[in-house]
Each structure stands twice: as C-alpha cells, then as structure tokens.
Structure 1
Amino acid sequence: MMRRLGVSIYPEKSTPEQDKTYLRKAASYGFSRVFTCLLSVQKPKEEIKADFVDIISCAKELQMEVILDVAPTVFDQLGISYDELSFFAELGADGIRLDLGFDGLKEAQLTYNKYDLKIELNMSNDVAYLDNIMTHQPNTENLIGCHNFYPQKYTGLPYEFFISCSERFKKHHLRTAAFVTSSDAKMGPWNINDGLCTLEEHRNLPIDVQAKHLFATGLIDDVIIGNAYASDKELELLGKLHRARLELSVELEKNISDIEKTIMFEETHTRRGDISEYMVRSVEVRKKYAAYSVEAAKTPVQKRGDIFIGNDSFGKYKAELQVVLKDMPADERKNKVGHVLEEELFLLDYIHPWGSFTLREK
C-alpha cells in the first residue's frame, strides 16, 4: 500500500488564498492528502458550501484527496442525514471521517453510499468497534481509518495503546493514518493548540522524526500534519523522506575519508539476519569495497548510536558498517565515522533482521 503525506487546513480560521497557497506548496513537495474539519464551522449551510467548494476544487486540481471530519452535531446543524450524503459529494470531498461511531451496521451501510465516498473511522479506541463493523460486511474499498490528534499537551496517545489500536485496523488490511505536529504552525480547529499530534511522545520532536517513527511502525500508511501552516522547511523535510525505508540522520566525525563517506551515504544498508544485540551489521558493503583501503583512524569506546566502519586491520570485516546498539569497549580495528542524532536513537529499535536503512548527513 503506497504511503502518503497530508496536510490539514481550517478554512474558518484563514482565507481561501492562504489555504490555496499552502495546498499548492504542499503538493509541490509530494503531499497528496488533505484533512479539513467541519466540527468547528459556525456558518450558514450555503456559506459553508461556497467556502468548501472553492478550496476543495483547488485541492482536486492538485490531485489531492480530501477527507472532511464530521460528527452528529454537524449533521444536525446543517439539517442533513447520514442516509443522504449528497451534501459532501457536492462539496467535492472524497470522504468523511466519523469522529463518533454508531452501531456497526450503520457504518457498514455507509460504505455503500451512492456517491462512493470513503468512510473514515476514528482509530484511537482500543475496543472491538471495527470488528463489529466487519461482521456487517462493509465495502472495504471505501473503509479507511485515521487516528485523532490532541491539541492539549499531555493528552496524546501512549505508544503501546497506539500500537494496539492500529493493529486492529491493519489486521483487516485497511488504509490507516495518523497526525504529526509542526513546531511552526499555530492553527487548529480549537482555541487550544499545544501542537496537533497523535502520539504524545511526538509533541516536541522534529516533524521528520515523528513521520519516520510512524512509518517505521509498519502500521501507518498516511502521515498528516495536524496543524497549519507548516513551514516550507518542514514540508521539504517530509517531502524528501523515503516513506518505505528508514533513513537515519547522522552527525559526521571530522576528517573521515571519501571511501568512508561513500560507504555510509551512497549505499542502502541491510541488517544481517542473524542479528547481534550489540550492533546492526551491514555486511554486503564489505564485499563491494573489499579492494579499497580504509586507513585506521579514531577508535573510541563504542556508544549506542555510534557508527563504525572496519579498517584495513580488520581482515575480512574491512569496510563492514556497524551501528552500535549497546555500549562496547573500543576496538582499534574499527573507525568511528559518525553518530545517529540524539532525537533519532529510539529509531534504531526499528531496524529489524533483514531490514534495510539508509544514512543521511544532517
């Protein structure tokens, strides 16, 4: 399932031109999803329709999918029924997100709506809600899931709970999504905005690290920036991410050789299958660079996150790249060439046996 990036917009808090400019910029960086919210809109029905048709038309021209967040109060306010979704089709939306659920049968029936709208479920509940829906034989082509975001600090999901919730959806092979937060954006649906992330541990992390983590779990297909407007730099960082393979940001040691840089940055590394608890071993590179010289250099104590390459004194292990997982004594047969950035050290746990990864100089 192709992984995607998304942005959020809040038309009631901005202007059409601001939103359109943001969508065009996001699309230029490879973003293809838009989350927007009707929960906080307080306008007459026709004004809402005019505003959203305008902005959704722009998104569709950019080939971006648009999902509208709704709740029963929205239907009551607009005088529309869950049995007739023409209003959302007329807006040009691709689907609606049900912030609150029903009895399982209703959700299943909604997936067969005549407008072919996607029905997105709230993933942030670790109960048998989805299993109940699946017993009613929904059209899974139109059934997707998305976690909540949490504007108040310390209220985001804990990691293990997030994993349990997400596994319920992946078990049924449904597309999933979760939110990351921009450190620059200030806009959300409510007047409290301490960031708009799904996982509490992400709230103060760089945006690209948040996204890497969500993709690395293997449980999230779409990563959406919850608040608006993310900076150009943040959009660029996410746009450059390899969505299917973990990429670690590295601080280089001084005076390392060109061949060591080549081994680090111009190769895709694969962790050896018969793993060690002390290091991630990338062994294929030692075969490719066996004929090159790796002169002995700095060999300090090996700390978690350090990156070493075997030097000329290491025999058949010369040019092997290793990422340290547990502290070890110094080994003069290896050169220290870099260190994984502190905020990304926890991502080392996601390099599984035979898993591939790349390195990027920060």
Structure 2
Amino acid sequence: MFGFSIFLNEGLTSETTDYIEEMAQNGFSGIFTSLHIPEDDAAQYRKRLTDLGAAAKSSNLELMVDISGEALDRAGFSFDRVDKLNEIGVTGLRMDYHISNQQIAKLSQQMLIALNASTITETDIQELRAASANFDHLEAWHNYYPRPETGLDKEWYHKKNKWLQGYGFTVQGFVPGDEQLRGPLYQGLPTLEEHRGLHPLAAALDLLADTDKVYIGDSGLSAETLRQFSFYMKEETLKLRVEAFDKQVEYVLGTHINRQDEARDVIRSAEARFKKIPHVEPLPARARELGSVTIDNANYLRYMGEIQIVKRTLPADEKVNVVGQVIDQDKALIQHIKAGQKFSLESVEK
C-alpha cells in the first residue's frame, strides 16, 4: 500500500484538493498528516483537519493523524470522543509522545492506532497486553527525518521491522518526495538516511522488502514520478526514461520482461527474441556505463537484436550498439528489475 502526506500549516486550497484526487486516482490509498499545533493556530487546525477529512472521505482514502498528548484537546477534539474524529474522516491516530500505553490500549478498542515503530520496546508490548489492547487495531509507523544525517540505518531498520512483524504488527515507513519538499530545511522526509534525495519510487520499492505501507513524507511528487508510481501499481511495470543516442533506440522502446535467469551484469529482455527487428547495422563502439541501453548488432550473429540494460560498467564491444542511456533520476530503479519483472523504456529529450 502506498500513501502520501498533506500538512495543515495552511488551509486546503483547490490545488491541494485536486492533488488528493489525483493521488487517489493513481492508486494511492491513504493520507498522513500531523496535528502538532502552534498555540495561535488551534482553531484553524480544527477546520483544516475537518476539511482534510472530508477530502479523504470523498476519495475513499484512509487518514492517519500524528498527535501528541495535548494536540487533540487544543484542536477541540477529545480522546473520550474519538467517534467525532471518525465522523470527519479520520481513520487512525499515530501516537507520538506523552500518551500512556493504558490510554493507547483504550483507544485501540475504538479505532486504528499507530505506535512509534522506532521506539516501541518489549516493555511497551507487555504493558499494552496487560491493558487489554486490541492488537488487531495496532500498527507500527516509523518517523521521517527532516535533518540530513539523522535518518535511520538500513540494517537497524530491517532488524527492528523483523522484530515488530514477529509480534504481528503492520509496519509503515516514509520515503522522500521530489516536489514541494517540506521546509524549513527542504532536504526530504525519508525514514532511511540513504534514501534522502533518491528517486521516490526506488526508495519505496526498497522499503517494500520488509515494510507493509510506504508513504511519501513530503507534500508532493512530480508529474513524471507520479506517473511512474501509477504505472507500477496498475501495470506492475517499472517505467524508465531513456535519452536516445541513435535512431536505433526505436528498436528498444516499449515494454519488456527481464529474463527469469537473471544475469549478473545486464538486464536481458525476454521479449527481444519475439520482436521483429531488421538487420542491425553496427554503430561505433562505446563504453557501456550503468544504465546504458543496448542492442546487439549483426556482428553478434544469432544474438542480433538482443536488448539489454547495463547494471555495471562494461567495456566497449563492437558487437553491441549503445543506443541510449537511462536518465540519472531513474538509474536507482534499475536494481529493482529482478527476474521476471516487467519494465518499459520511454524516450525523452535530453
């Protein structure tokens, strides 16, 4: 499941409402927002949350709200009447700080509750059990980290998730956006530090190895990245944008499947042998860098027409034509084209 973030530092505009509808139409299933309220904005935040809840309901989206101990009260809501939150479209609460396990257990009887995945301990679990928490309504959501160098270590994250999933928790993590990054630092909002600045879909696929829900931490995705997410969710296909080097690039564009016998150095199109490709004249040989898109020429005899994406730097070969290059932004997607994975090559202007 993929979700995205909408923050309440300003009221919902028509552009934001359109963005919510667009994300829903492209396969996203949930919204994350935060109710950490400046003192002078409490009344505004109640209206903004109500408006966001209405937009979420209109698009059939889940709405998870990050709260601290006093945030609900200052916004005019109450832990004692969470049904009022359900009425406006809030489907879950993420517990931040100053909320006891006893209170969490009580709330879990009424709605979905997300615990802080990074800080929950064995003691917390035992206290929740003792307080008769409904573990079917408990999930574990990680933080995002605005400041560079403070995101989680990947190995630690995997170990923590394995422990959480051992207790049956659904686990969530954040990846950065690539448009409308959140201030004041504008450095992305990833859970893992190594994902900062990475292609959002590549980061999301990385998390999906052991993460059940992946949300975009920042407030926006570029139109092209959203299209790549949508294509992956609807077609299970990774779309890669390719800068053309020669008109022979036309031979390689379109949808392919990586062969089941996955090669070490290259991604091999299983579809290439079924394509009707004319005689492929040799081009001047050039080094094959990560992301080079190639087609074997007539010098490769019966291999003529084989289509590949290069996964590691390889030397020039007079039998192999380099006809294009995966653009820098999309190179991180290449490592996710495993055996049997569908991918599509699309030509773009430099």
TM-score above 0.5, yes or no: yes
Q: How many residues align?
A: 343
Distance 1:342 1:153, change over 3 A: same
TM-score (norm 1): 0.76
Identity fraction in percent: 24
1:272 aligns with 2:260: yes
SS in structure 2 at match of 1:52: helix
Distance of aligned partners of 1:66 and 1:43 in 2 relative to their CA distance in 1, 3 Å threshold: farther
Pick from 188, 195, 201: which aligns with 1:211? 201
**1:253 partnered with 2:217:** no
Q: Cα offset for 1:234?
A: 6.2
In structure 2, the gaps of 5 or more residues are none
2-structure distance, mates of 1:316, 1:213: 38
Q: How does 1:251-330 map to 2 (within 5 A)?
A: 251-256=243-248, 258=250, 260-261=251-252, 265-273=253-261, 275-282=262-269, 284-289=270-275, 292-330=278-316
Displacement, 1:118?
1.8
Change (3 A) 1:138 1:298: farther
Question: Distance between the aligned counterparts of 1:51 and 1:9, measured in 2?
Answer: 9
Kindly tell me: are residues 296 and 151 of structure 1, through their superposed partners in 2, closer, same or farther at Cα, counting changes over 3 Å?
same
C-alpha distance after superposition, 1:221-255 (max 9, x if no partner): 54433333x37636744554413443333222222
**3-state DSSP class of the match of 2:13?**
helix
Alignment-derived partner of residue 33 in structure 2: 36
CA offsets per residue over residues 280-318 of structure 1, 9 Å max, x none?
223x22331367433322432333322222223323322
| Alpha-carbon distance, 1:15 to partner | 2.0
TM-score, normalization by structure 2: 0.78
Tell me which amino acid in the other structure corresponds to 1:15.
G
Bigger drift between 299-308 and 285-294 goes to: 285-294
- The answer for the alignment partner of 1:342 in structure 2 is 328
Distance, in Å, in 2 between the alignment partners of 1:101 and 1:352 is 44
> Which region of structure 1 is more displaced relative to structure 2, 83-92 or 126-135?
126-135
Letter in structure 2 aligned against 1:247: K
Structure 1: where are the runs of 5+ without partners? none
Match of 2:195 in 1: 202
Verify the 8 A CA contact 2:249 2:324 in the aligned structure 1.
Answer: no
Q: Give the equivalent residue in structure 2 for 1:4.
A: 2
Q: Distance in 1 between matches of 2:172 and 2:268?
A: 32
8 Å CA contact retained: 1:286, 1:317: no
**Segment of structure 1 superposing worse, 99-108 or 53-62:** 99-108
RMSD over equivalenced CA pairs, Å? 3.8
**Is residue 95 from structure 1 mapped to residue 92 from structure 2 by the alignment?**
yes
Q: Which residue of 1 aligns with 2:337?
A: 351
In structure 2, C-alpha distance between the alignment counterparts of 1:287 and 1:241, rounded to whole Å: 25
After superposition, the Cα gap between the structure-2 partners of 1:331 and 1:75, relative to the gap in structure 1 and judged at 3 Å, is same
